[in-house]
Structure 1
Amino acid sequence: MELEELRATWSEMSQELEKQKKLTNEIILKMTQDRYRKKFSKLRNLETVGAMICYLWVVFFLFNFGKLDTWYLQICGVLTIGFLIILPTLVLKSLKKIQNLDILNGSYKKNLVIYIKEKNRLLKLQQMGIYLSYLLLFILVPVSTKIISNKNIFLTSFKPLQVIALVVALIFMFFFTRWGYKSYKKITNSAEDILRDLDS
């Protein structure tokens, strides 16, 4: 009789331990999911603010598009508007996709493959944005100048102060874009480490 009671107690304890282990694993996964998502929340908030600023500029350029009275200023205007709509939208979509990776479902290997694919896409978008931002500077200046001060800079000669301002802007952009890209790499590598820790 005692042996039967001992077996029943042992079986009950084993089931309890299994439930505890399963519950602990679920809690760890949920905590990992939260830590993973928080890695991208600040980045996503910054990109959302940046995108809103870009969209406001688009509205400004659309309302004033009629002031662009030559074909080449209109092309610059269209390119500027396209850039300010497309790139921020693509970055936000990519960030949403990478942030919402569902760690709780799917295998570790599958999640890691999806993450690396999305990480590479996000970093390529950032690289593309860096290169295109230099082009944007050269098409944004003529458009803004025409809309704000009604001057066509293609028909005027540059003053020394304007050349200095352009060089300073390029230097600032160089360091700012480098810093931004390094921050993206740091955050995405840190998030990848969180995922890799699940396998250990």
Structure 2
Amino acid sequence: MELEEMKLAWNDLSKKVEKQEILNQQIIEKMTKDQYQSNIKKIALPEYIGTIICYLGAAYLSVNVPKLDEPLIQFFGVISIALLLILPIISLQSVRAMRKINLSSHSYLEALQVFGKQKIRFQKLQKLNVSLGMFLMVIGVPVLMAIQDKSIEFSSLFWMLYFPLGIMFFLGFSYWVLKYYNRKLKATEKLLTEVNE
């Protein structure tokens, strides 16, 4: 009788341990998904704020560019508006692709591979955005100066000091943002790698 009771107790204990392992795995998966989404949200929030700023800038230029007299400045204004509308689309599409990775529909190894591909794509698109942002700055400054009725030819202090400082600030800020994004992406990749081990 004791042997039979021991077998039953052993079976009960085995079932409880098995249920506990399944429960622990589910908790780990949920925590991983939550941390993954949290890291991606930390990247997405600045992109959403940048999108609002770009669209406000495009609206401002849309109202003021038709008032300009010089055709070249109007052309630069139209290109600036187009860039202000395109830049957020590129950013938001790359963030959306990162958010769409479904950790539960893939094995963690597959999720890590998909994440790696999206990470590389995201980084390339961010570098493209920095390049387009620099181009926007170069062609947008004459447009903004024309809107404010300031001459771009005779402002040597602007072109010798303020504009180069603005370029340096833009590049420094872009470098800082890309570095921040890369830190968040590495933390996310490390999270997925640790779960896979």
Q: TM-score normalized by structure 2?
A: 0.91
Maintained 8 Å contact 1:115/1:192? yes
- Paired residue for 1:138? 138
Cα drift, residue 119 of structure 1:
0.6
- Cα contact 2:80–2:140 (8 A) shared by 1: yes
C-alpha contact 1:68 1:77 (8 A) present in aligned 2: no
For the residue of structure 2 that corresponds to 1:44, the secondary structure is: helix
Alignment-derived partner of residue 180 in structure 2? 183
The answer as to 2:119 corresponding to 1:119 is yes
Count the aligned residue pairs: 197
Q: Name the counterpart of 2:33.
A: 33
- Please report how far the alpha carbon of residue 100 of structure 1 lies from its aligned counterpart in structure 2 after TM superposition: 4.2
Q: 2:186 and 2:88 mapped to 1: Cα distance?
A: 22
Q: Who is 1:102 aligned against?
A: 102
Partner Cα separation in structure 1 for residue 11 and residue 143 of structure 2:
77
1:194 deviates by 0.6
CA-to-partner distance for each residue in 1:66-118, whole Å, 9 max, x for gaps?
12333322321222112111121221222133134222331011101110111
CA contact (8 A) 1:91 1:125 kept: yes
Counterpart of 1:165 (choices 156, 162, 167) is 162
Aligned partner of 1:49 in structure 2 is: 49
Check whether the contact 2:58–2:85 (CA below 8 A) recurs between aligned residues: yes
CA distance in 2, matches of 1:122, 1:69: 40
1:199 correspondence with 2:196: yes
Same amino acid, percent of matched pairs = 32
Q: Give the C-alpha shift of residue 4 in structure 1.
A: 3.1
1:16 aligns to 2:13 (yes or no): no
Assess if the C-alpha contact under 8 Å between 2:73 and 2:142 holds in 1.
yes
Give the Å deviation of 1:152: 5.9
Q: 1:21-51 deviations in whole A, cap 9, x for unaligned?
A: 0000110111111112212222211111111
| d(CA) in 1 for partners of 2:147, 2:158 | 21
Q: CA–CA distance in 2 between the matches of 1:170 and 1:113?
A: 37
Query: Residues of 1 paired with 2:74 and 2:90: CA distance?
Result: 24
Which string of whole-angstrom CA distances, capped at 9 and with x for unpartnered residues, describes residues 175-197 of structure 1?
Answer: 21211211121111111001100
- Structure 1 residue 174 corresponds to structure 2 residue 174: no
Query: What residue ranges of structure 2 are gaps of 5+ in the alignment?
Result: none
The 5-angstrom pairing of residues 53-72 of structure 1 reads: 53-72=53-72
Give the Cα–Cα distance (whole angstroms) in 2 for the partners of residues 18 and 97 of structure 1.
36
- Residue 158 of structure 1: how far off its partner (Å): 3.6
Distance 1:94 1:161 in 2: 35
Matched residue SS, 2:196: coil
The runs of 5 or more residues in structure 1 that have no matched partner are none
